[in-house]
Structure 1
Amino acid sequence: MKQLDSLRLQLLRWLLIPLGLLLVVNAFFSNRTANLTANHAFDSLLVASADTIADQVTVRDGALAVDLPYVALQLLESNLQERIFYRVVAPDGRTLTGYDDLPMPPRRTSTADTQVTYTAQYKGEDIYLVAYYKQVYGLSTTDPVVILVAETGESRSALSRQILIDDLQRQAVLIIAAGLLVWLGLGRGLRPLMELRDSLVKRSSFDLSPIDQTRVQNEIRPLIEALNQHTSRIEKLIESRQRFIADASHQLRTPLSEMRTQVEYTLRQGRPELSHETLATVRRWLDSQTRLIGQLLLMARSDPEAMQNHHSGVANLMALARDTALEHVPAARRKAIDLSFEGPEHEVPVMGNELLLHELMANLIDNAIRYTPAHGAITVRVMQGEWAVLEVEDNGPGIALSEREKVFERFYRGPNKDAQGSGLGLSIVRDICVSHDAQIALDSPAGGGPGLLVRVQFKPAHLI
């Protein structure tokens, strides 16, 4: 997975790239505005120049006369190599003064229009013109005199370009200033996170206490809460593993020491009959320890904390219970115990891990076989209603009411324990129930006789 870069850089990109795009779009509109502004300014100068010339158009001795004032063209002078043209046209179309070939304006839409601005091609380049219409009295015609003043576009382009550059420079400065302010603001805003990082780095590797949320922003608190929850789960898992290791060490260390002492004693005696007896004892001990180690490994796997994110699917409770009961038929026959199964013919679906559910049933049936006397009876039963129910009922000695909570503790064995019991069976069953959100209860058989009824209730698959 690609590693994410700095939060500052990400935010700056999300800020500056859109602003840069807006700057490009704004440059287009700014260029139009700059052209309009420059054209309006120079068109006003053209009109002023034409108006000055129009003031000098008079009638002398019945004929038109024009005294071209220098100030009229001086208005259009600039430092650029720009060319200026003018033309004064009499009502009959004659050119009184100026450039004869200077293009005339388009036809007026209304006689009320005293001036018209337009553009045209003149001597291979674009020029900007104004036509000023002046009514001169004293002539035999009522048609106006037309004063044309034109210039090339160097000054207009220079002014438009300068307006555009100044506008873009101001916007660029604002964007850069915004980027700097965001960078500095993020540095200040991220300071609590940096302090949080420093505090976590200084923590001991054994310190799993919750992270303080009061010194971070509201947007960061959900992340801190999630980290605290995750840390809490890790802490519980570590504590569970530590308890498991301590319990396993205690259960394995003492029998090993006793067996070592017995073997050393037998070796010193050198009697064959004692050696045979010791080997038989070692074999029984190995069988017991093999079962104990298997149960310890299963306990590590079925621990509720370890099972929180364990993959589970839909399991058929009825088929699992029936198959597990069949697996224990040989053990039941060795004690002449009647092991029977009752359940519906259809499937009873529950959500769970099939391997762990099998171990749950195996432990319950194995415990029932161990504690039920010879010629006894055990019934494995599956029922479906509001809950999916598994029951294992026997007619053994049962468990006293005062002992029914204690038997779920690890390595606890009640007064009726057998010699090879490890005290882990019901503890494993309880952990598997917790990991599957199931309820377990110990009760007396329905008939009121001796024995024990273990009932496990699962939520049906469609309710989960």
Structure 2
Amino acid sequence: MLSRRRKADKGGSGGRAGGQPNSLFGEILDWMLAPLLFLWPISIIVTHNVADNIANQPYDRALADSVRSLARLVSVEGGQVEVHFPAPPRALFRADQDDTVYYQVANQSGETITGDREIPWVPPPPIVLAEEVLYRDEVIHGEEVRVAYQFLKAWPEPASPLVLVQVAETRNKRSDLASRVVTGVLLPQFAIIPLAVVLVWVGLTRGIAPLNRLQSLIRRRRPTDLSPIVPASVPEEVRPLIVAFNDMMARLEENLQAQQRFIADAAHQMRTPLTGLKMQTDLALLESDPEQLRASLTQIGQSADRASHLINQLLSLARAEASFEKLYTVEPVDLEAVVREVAQDLFPRALAKNIDLGVESSGQVLQVEGNAVLLREMIKNLMDNAIKYTPRGGSVTARTRHPGAPILEVEDTGAGIPEADRERVFERFYRVLGSGVDGSGLGLPIVREIAELHRATVTLSPNAGGRGTVAQVVFPRSHVAPPPLPAHGDYFTLG
């Protein structure tokens, strides 16, 4: 599968550049500790609110008792509301050195009957319940206070006016109690959090120990040991990675075996022309007749050409088999332009055999994702094979179409390929018997190798117009409709 090659950053990458984790251990530790550090301030706020509620409850009950006690001292005499204190009010409300206590008795109009005028007056609620004590927070002389208040009826009649009884207390004791509660909760956390970090560290260290053992196992392997790792011997979470690793090792072993077979086949194929070349050279050295010597030198030149062609084909096949994503840039390639360039390069060969070499255009810019060097090599091999196996006076046509996916076809009027051999000709060094043409048997294997690298398929079929063969290469479907070509005509020939 092809993929675009992305340029590496000039500055390189280190640490966690680009968002890539540098350490699995550090990544897990971060994801465990970061939420903990984020939740800790929230827990402090929640604890403080809970502590305030806890501190309010006993002091609110005390304030409520004070309000009820003050309400029992309220009486009506001669239509006037009066309050009779049996003792000094400060003693009655148990004032202390920590907090300041305020009290007030006011009528329905907000006029203070007795007590401290600093306490703000509040209107009565829509429904006044007997013995109900309400609470609110106020500020007196710049200090926050807690106010407990109750509404009383001056006399039993329903239309009786209401009397407001209020007792307020600063929040110093409440704040001290809440601070003690918060301190009592948070101090153990200061000891628990570092201990939790240590325990998490130890747990992660023990948890990734199997990964360290797996790393040691792989490092101890010999370079030639491509045997699979038993998935059952690793933790369950790592098994998919090990299965993928085993698959990669299997593909690598298959590639190495293919390379070994290629080297053996190449050595065998190279031995024959080199041996013939050496024998023809020895015979030429023994010749004294100029005509025979010239004939021997001609054969030597032809043998050298065949050996050079074989070497070039071997190099092309090796280059196609290489991981070209590391060597060549993958980019949009204009298939039409490459076909025309190759046809122009091969025109002299076609002209020498009196072959009509033509190119049929699709009328569109057929862009395929791939490597221009390898695509040119593939098209060259297809057209070169067609010219080579087409007799004198025949025709070879390179055709491009786009019926939804880019298609390249090379059609010739040669002898054709028997149906039994149409798949075997893609094997290395295989040649159809009785063709009468010298070849290396590597042209079509190179074509298939390059096509597979570009996710394309190659098929051979008989020429529907009579003798010959049609080689068809179908590329992956294009996602963008290609633009039309300038008007040059749909067909032109080079011969």
TM-score range, shorter chain: 0.5 to 0.7
What corresponds to 2:332 in structure 1? 313
What corresponds to 2:303 in structure 1? 285
What corresponds to 1:408 in structure 2? 426
Which of residues 327, 333, 341 is equivalent to 2:358?
A: 341
The answer to whether the 8 A contact 2:358-2:396 is kept is: yes
> 2:223 aligned with 1:205, yes or no?
yes
Give the C-alpha shift of residue 400 in structure 1: 5.3
The answer to whether the 8 A contact 1:114-1:134 is kept is: no
Residues in 1 aligned to 2:278 and 2:441: alpha-carbon distance in whole angstroms: 23
Residues in 2 aligned to 1:399 and 1:219: alpha-carbon distance in whole angstroms: 53
In the TM superposition, 1:136-285 aligns within 5 A as 154-169=172-187, 179=197, 182-183=200-201, 185-187=203-205, 189-214=207-232, 220-253=238-271, 255-256=273-274, 259=277, 280-285=298-303
Post-superposition CA distance 1:355-406 (Å, at most 9, x none): 4444344334434444455x4423325374868452432345x555555544
Residues in 2 aligned to 1:407 and 1:193: alpha-carbon distance in whole angstroms: 48
Evaluate the alpha carbon distance shift between residue 69 and residue 244 of structure 1 in structure 2; reply closer, same or farther with a 3 A threshold: same
TM-score by length of 1: 0.68
The answer to whether the 8 A contact 1:127-1:150 is kept is: yes
What corresponds to 1:139 in structure 2? none
Give the C-alpha shift of residue 294 in structure 1: 1.5
Q: Residue 14 of structure 2 aligns to a residue in which SS?
A: coil
Residues in 1 aligned to 2:451 and 2:123: alpha-carbon distance in whole angstroms: 98
Evaluate the alpha carbon distance shift between residue 150 and residue 299 of structure 1 in structure 2; reply closer, same or farther with a 3 A threshold: closer
Residues in 1 aligned to 2:119 and 2:464: alpha-carbon distance in whole angstroms: 120
The answer to whether the 8 A contact 2:463-2:470 is kept is: no
What corresponds to 1:41 in structure 2? 58
What corresponds to 2:449 in structure 1? 431
Evaluate the alpha carbon distance shift between residue 237 and residue 339 of structure 1 in structure 2; reply closer, same or farther with a 3 A threshold: same
Give the C-alpha shift of residue 161 in structure 1: 0.7
Residues in 1 aligned to 2:150 and 2:299: alpha-carbon distance in whole angstroms: 130
Residues in 2 aligned to 1:133 and 1:401: alpha-carbon distance in whole angstroms: 109
Evaluate the alpha carbon distance shift between residue 86 and residue 343 of structure 1 in structure 2; reply closer, same or farther with a 3 A threshold: closer
Residues in 2 aligned to 1:45 and 1:391: alpha-carbon distance in whole angstroms: 102
The answer to whether the 8 A contact 1:406-1:412 is kept is: yes
Residues in 1 aligned to 2:122 and 2:313: alpha-carbon distance in whole angstroms: 108
Which of residues 9, 12, 24 is equivalent to 1:7?
A: 24
Q: Residue 460 of structure 2 aligns to a residue in which SS?
A: strand
The answer to whether the 8 A contact 1:304-1:432 is kept is: no
> 2:35 aligned with 1:23, yes or no?
no
Q: Could you tell me which runs of 5 or more consecutive residues in structure 1 were left unpaired when the two chains were aligned.
A: 58-62, 136-142
Evaluate the alpha carbon distance shift between residue 334 and residue 217 of structure 1 in structure 2; reply closer, same or farther with a 3 A threshold: same
Evaluate the alpha carbon distance shift between residue 134 and residue 394 of structure 1 in structure 2; reply closer, same or farther with a 3 A threshold: closer
Residues in 1 aligned to 2:132 and 2:57: alpha-carbon distance in whole angstroms: 17
Evaluate the alpha carbon distance shift between residue 184 and residue 370 of structure 1 in structure 2; reply closer, same or farther with a 3 A threshold: same
Post-superposition CA distance 1:323-357 (Å, at most 9, x none): 5444334324434x332426357348373655444
Which of residues 411, 420, 424 is equivalent to 1:392?
A: 411
Q: Bigger CA drift: 109-118 or 3-12?
A: 109-118
Which of residues 461, 467, 473 is equivalent to 1:458?
A: 473
The answer to whether the 8 A contact 2:461-2:471 is kept is: no
* Number of equivalenced pairs: 438
One-letter amino acid of the counterpart of residue 243, structure 1: R
Give the C-alpha shift of residue 445 in structure 1: 7.2
One-letter amino acid of the counterpart of residue 23, structure 1: W
Give the C-alpha shift of residue 159 in structure 1: 1.4
Evaluate the alpha carbon distance shift between residue 121 and residue 271 of structure 1 in structure 2; reply closer, same or farther with a 3 A threshold: same
Q: Residue 468 of structure 2 aligns to a residue in which SS?
A: strand
Residues in 2 aligned to 1:315 and 1:70: alpha-carbon distance in whole angstroms: 99
One-letter amino acid of the counterpart of residue 14, structure 2: K
One-letter amino acid of the counterpart of residue 32, structure 2: L
Evaluate the alpha carbon distance shift between residue 238 and residue 147 of structure 1 in structure 2; reply closer, same or farther with a 3 A threshold: same
The answer to whether the 8 A contact 2:147-2:169 is kept is: yes
In the TM superposition, 1:66-105 aligns within 5 A as 66=86, 82=98
The answer to whether the 8 A contact 2:145-2:169 is kept is: yes
Give the C-alpha shift of residue 424 in structure 1: 1.9
Post-superposition CA distance 1:181-204 (Å, at most 9, x none): 654554454344334333322333
Evaluate the alpha carbon distance shift between residue 331 and residue 41 of structure 1 in structure 2; reply closer, same or farther with a 3 A threshold: same
Evaluate the alpha carbon distance shift between residue 155 and residue 248 of structure 1 in structure 2; reply closer, same or farther with a 3 A threshold: same
The answer to whether the 8 A contact 1:321-1:380 is kept is: no
Which of residues 441, 444, 460 is equivalent to 2:460?
A: 441
Residues in 2 aligned to 1:221 and 1:14: alpha-carbon distance in whole angstroms: 23
Q: Could you tell me which runs of 5 or more consecutive residues in structure 2 were left unpaired when the two chains were aligned.
A: 1-12, 16-20, 75-82, 154-160, 480-495
